[in-house]
Structure 1
Amino acid sequence: MGSIFILFLFQAIVTYADPKVQIDDTVKDCTPKELVVAQGKCSKYVNDLIVLTEEGDTKSRNVTDACKSVTSCFGGIQCAEAEKSKRTYEQKCDKLEFTNNDVASCMSMFYNTVYSKKENCTEDFDYFSRDMRIKRESYTAGKSCFFKTINKTCNATSVAYLEKNYEKLLDVLTIPSDGDACSSLHDELNARQCEPQMREFMINGMIQAISMSFGMKERSNTTKTCSETKECMSQYCYFSKNTTQQLEQLCDELSKKPTTFNMCYMGIRMSTLDTKEPANYECQEKYGRKPMVEPVNKALEKQYLKFMDDKECMRTIMKEECDQSVLDVFDEEWDKLQKEKNSRTSTRSPF
């Protein structure tokens, strides 16, 4: 057989395999004869699978049979290029199976339950571990808890599939893909663990951003929460560029300090009167601050806000809470505020 024809067959069979797929070094390279056999035997099954998926017939029995035929064909030829092709199509077909049975959506609902601690038993197992050994042990020991949870949240198709293919799920979750990681099931299913945290942060962050626009300064540690969310997402390439950009923009917005005197002043006032987590500034202590109670009456509010009449106390607080631009005009704005207060006092009716 001519060398050019052999080269053609080699290139044809290699195109079936993901070049990033790694196999055991002990597996020998295919001989020219094995390449011919692989090309002749397996190309029909590959073409059948391609036609079925291109036609959108991904949920039929025909696709399942085609997947089995392709992987069995390449698996029957014991050489490196055929093994790579087998591994490539195993991963492609697993992804197709998981999609057809809504496994990814089911896992997202499971992760949400674990994150929100809605099912007590989930707290006994480290399902979110990034150590693949610990993760597998957790899913193995926590199998009954897993099914108890998804029976309440997932559709019957997903549950039935996972009951029959639980070991396959564990393999996908705990064995990194040796192909294109960014399009792998392993990356997607593990990345979805970040979604409950990301969703909670983005909702709370948007609420906080709105509150801040009205002068209310939230006391929650958004910088820490933002960093934790970004760190989780950075482990995977599943998330779109648009999603990561939205998160970055929100984090940037929440990290900004008030840029006007009035906004900063109102933020300090609202934070001080927060009955859930009131702000506490050192220079307040000399005014005999007492624990906040609810409802806030006028007398208590007046006592609480005495420190806001202390110019140097407010200057100190604003150094911490406000943008430098506020400090640059502090004296001017403070004098203006005092004039407004005096004006309101002098015009107030005695009756």
Structure 2
Amino acid sequence: MFSKILLFIFPIFIASAPSKNSTNGDIEPCLKEFYQAAYDGVYNCTKEFDFFSKNSTPKVFKSAKPCFLEVAKSECSNSQYNLLSTKYDDFLEVITEEPKSDTSCESFYFKYNSMKCVPMMGDIAAKVAPLAQKHLKVNDSRLLDLVDTCDRVKSCMSPPCYFNDVEKSMITEGCNSINLRNTKFSECLSEIQKESPDLSGYKCLKGVDFNSKAPTDIIDKFSKNQACTKQIMEEFCGKEAVENFDEYAEMTAEKVVQMAQMMQILQGES
């Protein structure tokens, strides 16, 4: 369930900010390809420079010029490569010199530097997809990897003007879902789904299938009927599974509501 929510959030977020065509010296498409290649380690030279860590600064492009142009020559259009190779100092000035505080967030400085966050978002989306139907234990290495990548994405997005509040909120929501999945609460729900025990003796379910995937049933399970849900989870998985139950139940119901709303929007656009 949580993976399905994530499968919506990250791809939609990435698709919501497509690269623009190159106009007036805007090298965004080329920079996007460079950051992706550097993140994937396609070119050996990019491994020598710190483009993505918390301590990374735009000034890395001063010493990385030969490497950057090597990648750009292969990954970018001829026109963009020619622009960069002949006016690299101009590009360097734009990407390294932060505008004064009273400057609009529309500056290319913010636009170009924020793009290094996009490969990390794509990485999360790619890692979430194979886990959608997996029954994972707490602290599974794949979950811990996602948690770590989420922390890096949020740190990358944090500087002023890199992303707006709505965009930051979307990523935070997605990362909260990842953190929620790495709990005994989620592990228990996954275990109940996997084992599919006979829960017919629980009259408080009122005939509703505990493992129903219908959004309305899931929402009710963690809102109107959460006392019943808590009882079942505690008896099936133990007290550890219901620690912070109210918080996790509310979060789960809210995320299912969000997913249902996104589904309606997407269906309306199709």
* Number of residue equivalences: 179
Gap change, CA 1:131 and 1:231, over 3 Å in 2: closer
Partners of 1:107 and 1:260 in 2: how far apart?
40
Are the equivalent residues in 2 in contact too, given 1:217–1:267 (CA < 8 A)? no
Q: Tell me by how many angstroms 1:193 deviates.
A: 0.9
Among 133, 151, 154, the alignment partner of 1:211 is: 133
Q: Which has the higher contact order (CA 8 A, sep 6+)?
A: 2
Alignment of 1:242-257 (within 5 A): 242-256=166-180, 257=183
In percent, how many aligned pairs have the same letter? 24
1:173 aligns with 2:120: no
Among 56, 59, 62, the alignment partner of 1:140 is: 62
Q: Tell me by how many angstroms 1:156 deviates.
A: 1.0
Partners of 2:54 and 2:136 in 1: how far apart?
38
Partners of 1:125 and 1:145 in 2: how far apart?
9
Are the equivalent residues in 2 in contact too, given 1:194–1:229 (CA < 8 A)? yes
**Which amino acid in the other structure matches residue 121 of structure 2?**
M
Q: Tell me by how many angstroms 1:260 deviates.
A: 8.3
Residue aligning to 1:185: 108
Among 160, 164, 167, the alignment partner of 2:86 is: 164
**Larger C-alpha radius of gyration, 1 or 2?**
1
Among 191, 201, 206, the alignment partner of 1:264 is: 191
Residue aligning to 1:233: 157
Gap change, CA 1:127 and 1:227, over 3 Å in 2: closer
Are the equivalent residues in 2 in contact too, given 1:176–1:186 (CA < 8 A)? yes
Gap change, CA 1:199 and 1:262, over 3 Å in 2: closer
Partners of 2:114 and 2:191 in 1: how far apart?
38
Q: Tell me by how many angstroms 1:261 deviates.
A: 4.8
Residue aligning to 1:194: 117
The C-alpha deviation readout for 1:102-160, integer Å capped at 9, x for no partner, is 4011111111111111100111223447778x643x43332221111011111111111
Q: What secondary structure does 2:37 align onto?
A: helix
Q: Tell me by how many angstroms 1:319 deviates.
A: 5.5
Once the two structures are overlaid, the 10-residue window that deviates more, 176-185 or 252-261, is 252-261
Q: Unaligned regions of 5+ residues in structure 1, if any? A: 1-96, 269-314, 327-351
Gap change, CA 1:131 and 1:253, over 3 Å in 2: closer
Are the equivalent residues in 2 in contact too, given 1:260–1:325 (CA < 8 A)? no
Gap change, CA 1:115 and 1:216, over 3 Å in 2: same
Q: Tell me by how many angstroms 1:187 deviates.
A: 1.0
Are the equivalent residues in 2 in contact too, given 1:205–1:250 (CA < 8 A)? no
Q: Tell me by how many angstroms 1:175 deviates.
A: 0.7
Q: What TM-score do you get using the length of structure 1 for normalisation?
A: 0.44
Q: Tell me by how many angstroms 1:245 deviates.
A: 2.7
Gap change, CA 1:127 and 1:248, over 3 Å in 2: closer
Partners of 1:128 and 1:160 in 2: how far apart?
25
Q: Tell me by how many angstroms 1:170 deviates.
A: 0.8
The C-alpha deviation readout for 1:305-333, integer Å capped at 9, x for no partner, is xxxxxxxxxx9x8565x34389xxxxxxx
Alignment of 1:277-296 (within 5 A): none
Once the two structures are overlaid, the 10-residue window that deviates more, 185-194 or 121-130, is 121-130
Partners of 1:246 and 1:240 in 2: how far apart?
10
Gap change, CA 1:149 and 1:169, over 3 Å in 2: same
Gap change, CA 1:262 and 1:117, over 3 Å in 2: closer
Residue aligning to 1:100: 24
Q: What TM-score do you get using the length of structure 2 for normalisation?
A: 0.55
Q: Tell me by how many angstroms 1:235 deviates.
A: 1.5
Q: What secondary structure does 2:105 align onto?
A: helix
CA RMSD of aligned residues (A): 3.5
Are the equivalent residues in 2 in contact too, given 1:114–1:123 (CA < 8 A)? yes
**Which amino acid in the other structure matches residue 183 of structure 1?**
E
Q: What secondary structure does 1:211 align onto?
A: coil
Q: Tell me by how many angstroms 1:232 deviates.
A: 1.0
Q: Tell me by how many angstroms 1:164 deviates.
A: 1.6
Q: Tell me by how many angstroms 1:184 deviates.
A: 1.0
The C-alpha deviation readout for 1:76-97, integer Å capped at 9, x for no partner, is xxxxxxxxxxxxxxxxxxxxx9
Residue aligning to 1:61: none
Q: Unaligned regions of 5+ residues in structure 2, if any? A: 1-20, 196-234, 246-270
Residue aligning to 1:112: 36
Q: What secondary structure does 1:183 align onto?
A: coil
